[in-house]
Chain A
Amino acid sequence: MARITLDSVRKRYGETTAVNGVSLTVDDGEIVGVLGPSGCGKTTTLRTVAGFETPTAGTVAFDDQDVTNVPPENRNVGLVFQEYALFDNMTVGENVAFGLKMRGIAKAKRRKRATELLDMLGIGEMADRDPTTLSGGQQQRVGLARALAIEPNVLLLDEPMTGLDAKLKARLRDEVGELLSELDVTGLYVTHDQEEAMLMCDRIAVMNDGRMEQVGTPREVYESPATEFVSEFVSLDAPQLPFVQW
């Protein structure tokens, strides 16, 4: 795993500034939640780290290597999407093994690794299934297994729980949270759900209007909001938040 460093990253689309001078460091093995309302620039930030957007200004580095202009296929980034983005023309096992296939790993080794990961996520028996026949939660596990199979430098999760029902979301949140801690993954977790961010992430970066309003531990963000926006945004659902883990 690697440390992610964003240094004064700015991204403009014509007259619109999506990300405005964002600087952030995610330490090796740390999960940072990028939290903010829709359209605040969190997905653009994640896509910049993944390599799908080249910043208008600023740099992105993994450890000490500048990857600002490195294409996505050469960044070794695991990406988990809100809409799963599974390959419908492949089985669940083939989905998980796809990244290894792109790296020229032998078939037997690919299959073994895919089986291990699917077992780890509790869906080992589904390796030969068509992914479209799985439930939302199962599909998201496949997406996670596929991202982890390549042993990525960084894991990027783009609202992975959105669209799941509340019960499943709670269960998956606990399981995925435990798994990410166990694997010591460096990750960016984009979400607009503060409960999710506070429970799953080591630190939280609150974004608004393309800017980073505050970066800190969940407790810091909640107890000492740096700006009025953070105060309002974080306190909105506060009564429902289970802070017991602090």
Chain B
Amino acid sequence: MATLGEHSERAGSRLRAAVHLASTAVGSIVDPVTERDRTRRRIVALCAPFATLLAVAGAYPLVEVVRISVSAEQYRSVGFALEAYGTLVTDPYYRGVAFNSLWLAGGTTLASVGVAVPIAHALEKYDLPGEDVLVTLVSFPISLPGIVAAFMILVLLGNNGLVTNLAALLTGRPATDLAIAVSAPGLFVAFCYSMIPRATLILRGTYAELDHAAEEAAQSLGATPWRTFRYVTLPQIRPGITGAVILTFRTGLAIFGTLIVIQTVVVWTLQISRELATGYDIQVAGAMATAYFLFTFAFTALGLRYTDAEVGL
């Protein structure tokens, strides 16, 4: 049996070794000797701006949010209490909000990826007339704020919307009965509008690396276009589909601007805003933000663990 003194001596020597290693590493970066040292220094220089941003604007606020969420008092980070988390778990209202977020993000993810696959397929596999214009049209909603996307849905599907009035004209029913902009389906469409371009972006990258010769081989062997897609194309684009699912699901959970205009379904982000702006329950808001972060992080990590998807954490 080792004595306490031996244990502390071992720990001390490990610490000294670690400090020595760290100081050697820092020394080789500050004053590089070998090409490997110089490469290290270049990597550090390239990553330093983001590492600083991550520490200042990412890690520190996150730690603060977690501290707020477990604070025993409002407006001051003191003590330790899990009351806010208890509220999220036991209150049916918050469970309902979580459920809304999951079905809305999940449903719109499936729909968006489902639409993006044929778009990416057509854009990458065929020479389309006016392809540059099509690519611009498909990708420009990425740069639109969610609030503008919601406004466009109002213009299309609201009481005076173009589609609504066209449907009213065709069916003979009043436009107010057919307007769906400020409803769950309207919100669904608005979400998809923002998410389809993101899914398409990922999938186009995957399609660009597709082995077209393998597809032609399958066709020459008697596979119809659909069976070629099923047996040859789909296995090749599967990582891209997984990547698109991860990215769009995360986008679906994060959308907020659209919900300012179309507040039909109360989801997690909207509720965080309400907790901060009108409920003044800063601990619950902190707990919601922490839960959101942990869920998104775990979802992405799991997604990447079981696939070789092309989306980072």
Q: Which residues of A contact B (CB under 8 A)?
A: 50-52, 71-79, 81, 83-89, 98-99, 102-103, 143, 146-147, 150
Residues of A within 8 A of B213 (CB): 81, 83-85
A62 to chain B, nearest CB (A): 14
Q: Would you call B223 and A73 a contact (CB within 8 A)?
A: yes
21 A-B pairs with CB atoms under 8 Å apart are A50-B220, A51-B220, A52-B216, A52-B219, A72-B216, A72-B219, A73-B224, A81-B217, A85-B214, A87-B217, A87-B232, A89-B236, A98-B221, A99-B222, A102-B218, A102-B222, A102-B223, A143-B217, A147-B220, A147-B221, A150-B221
Residues of B within 8 A of A71 (CB): 219
| Residues in B183-230 with C-beta less than 8 Å from chain A | 211, 213-214, 216-225, 227
A175 to chain B, nearest CB (A): 21
A99-B221, A99-B222, A102-B227 in contact; A87/B216 too (CB < 8 A)?
no
Q: Would you call A75 and B220 a contact (CB within 8 A)?
A: yes
A-B pairs with the 8 shortest C-beta distances?
A99-B221, A85-B213, A89-B235, A102-B222, A79-B220, A85-B217, A72-B219, A85-B214
Which of A51, A78, A85, A146 has most chain B Cβ within 10 Å?
A85
A13 to B, closest residue via Cβ: B127
| Residues in B52-67 with C-beta less than 8 Å from chain A | none
Residues of B within 8 A of A81 (CB): 213, 216-217
B222, B224, B232: the one within 8 Å of A150 (CB): B222
User: What would 10 more interface pairs be, CB under 8 Å, given A73-B221, A73-B222, A87-B231?
Assistant: A50-B216, A52-B216, A73-B220, A77-B220, A78-B220, A79-B216, A87-B217, A87-B235, A89-B232, A143-B217
- B interface: dominant SS: helix
A73-B222, A102-B227, A103-B222 in contact; A79/B217 too (CB < 8 A)?
yes
Residues of B within 8 A of A84 (CB): 213
Which of A73, A88, A147 has most chain B Cβ within 10 Å?
A73
Q: What 1/0 mask marks residues of chain B from 64 to 101 whose CB sits below 8 Å from any chain A CB?
A: 00000000000000000000000000000000000000
Q: Would you call B211 and A85 a contact (CB within 8 A)?
A: yes
Residues of B within 8 A of A147 (CB): 220-221
Which of B219, B224, B231, B232 has most chain A Cβ within 10 Å?
B219
B127 to A, closest residue via Cβ: A13
B211, B224, B231: the one within 8 Å of A98 (CB): B231
Residues of A within 8 A of B225 (CB): 73
B105 to chain A, nearest CB (A): 30
Q: Would you call B220 and A87 a contact (CB within 8 A)?
A: no
Q: What 1/0 mask marks residues of chain B from 219 to 254 whose CB sits below 8 Å from any chain A CB?
A: 111111101000110011000000000000000000
Q: Would you call A85 and B223 a contact (CB within 8 A)?
A: no
CA A77 to CA B222, docked complex, whole Å: 9
B228 to A, closest residue via Cβ: A73
B204 to chain A, nearest CB (A): 21
Residues of B within 8 A of A79 (CB): 216-217, 220
Residues of B within 8 A of A52 (CB): 216, 219
CA A99 to CA B221, docked complex, whole Å: 5
A137 to chain B, nearest CB (A): 18
CA A117 to CA B216, docked complex, whole Å: 21
A84 to B, closest residue via Cβ: B213
Q: Would you call A72 and B214 a contact (CB within 8 A)?
A: no
Residues of B within 8 A of A143 (CB): 217
A87-B232, A98-B231, A102-B227 in contact; A146/B221 too (CB < 8 A)?
yes
B217 to chain A, nearest CB (A): 4
CA A87 to CA B216, docked complex, whole Å: 11
Residues of A within 8 A of B231 (CB): 87, 98
Residues of B within 8 A of A88 (CB): 211, 214, 235-236
B214, B219, B235: the one within 8 Å of A86 (CB): B214
B220 to A, closest residue via Cβ: A79
CA A50 to CA B220, docked complex, whole Å: 7
Residues of B within 8 A of A74 (CB): 222
CA A72 to CA B220, docked complex, whole Å: 5
A205 to chain B, nearest CB (A): 21
B225 to A, closest residue via Cβ: A73
Residues of B within 8 A of A85 (CB): 211, 213-214, 216-217
B47 to chain A, nearest CB (A): 33
A75 to B, closest residue via Cβ: B220
Q: Would you call A146 and B217 a contact (CB within 8 A)?
A: yes
A145 to chain B, nearest CB (A): 12
A189 to chain B, nearest CB (A): 16
Residues of A within 8 A of B220 (CB): 50-51, 72-73, 75, 77-79, 147
A73-B223, A73-B224 in contact; A98/B216 too (CB < 8 A)?
no
B215 to A, closest residue via Cβ: A85
CA A146 to CA B222, docked complex, whole Å: 12
Residues of A within 8 A of B223 (CB): 73, 98, 102
CA A78 to CA B216, docked complex, whole Å: 11
A99 to B, closest residue via Cβ: B221
